[in-house]
């Protein structure tokens, strides 16, 4: 899978404030094979509380799919 926006010296942003899940953690889940927001929730807890982050997680999943399709 293509490298997903992980940069040295870059402070990762939180995707899920409720569970303190960062972009890097979500990218790691995607790189490990997660293909849905539910799978990411099961691995990290993100989206299990207020669900505000689910839209962001879905956007990250879509972007990953687009990167794979163009690779």
Cβ atoms of residues 60 and 27 within 8 Å: yes
Cβ atoms within 10 Å of 18's Cβ, excluding its own: 15
Share of the chain above pLDDT 90, in %: 76
Is the per-residue pLDDT at 5 higher than 70? no
| Confidence (pTM) | 0.82
The string of pLDDT tens digits covering residues 6-18 is 556 678 899 999 9
The string of pLDDT tens digits covering residues 27-70 is 999 999 999 999 999 999 999 999 999 999 999 999 999 998 88
The tokens 């990762």 sit on which residue? Answer: 12
């Amino acid at each position: 899978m293509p490298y997903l926006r992980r940069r040295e010296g870059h402070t990762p942003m939180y995707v899920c404030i409720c569970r303190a899940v960062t972009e890097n953690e979500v990218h790691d889940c995607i790189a490990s094979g997660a293909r849905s927001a539910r799978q990411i929730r099961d691995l990290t807890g993100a989206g299990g509380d207020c669900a505000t982050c689910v839209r962001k997680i879905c956007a990250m999943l879509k972007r990953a799919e687009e990167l794979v399709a163009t690779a």
